[in-house]
Amino acid sequence: MGYSPNRGIKKPAPQLLNKGYWLEELGFLTGQPVTVNIEQGRLIIQAEGNV
């Protein structure tokens, strides 16, 4: 978990950044839509259909 550059903001927003070819190996392609579900402290990210 990280924070975007705060540029003077007292409480920056949390952010997640995932990148790498390992995502492609899991079926996530550049430009492909994803679905994000939230469950008790978990984010579940699923690739949707074909690009």
- Of residues 37 and 5, more confidently modeled: 37
Residue 10, domain member (yes or no):
no
Residue written as token pair 């899991």: 26
> Is the pLDDT reported for residue 5 higher than 80?
no
The Cα 29–Cα 51 span in angstroms is 8
Residue 46, domain member (yes or no):
yes
> Tokens standing for 28?
């996530």
Q: Which domain holds residue 34?
A: 18-51
Q: How many domains does the chain have?
A: 1
Residue 7, domain member (yes or no):
no
* pTM reported for the whole predicted model: 0.65
Residue 11, domain member (yes or no):
no
The Cα 47–Cα 10 span in angstroms is 35
Question: Per-residue confidence at 2, pLDDT binned at 50, 70, 90?
Answer: low
Question: Per-residue confidence at 3, pLDDT binned at 50, 70, 90?
Answer: low
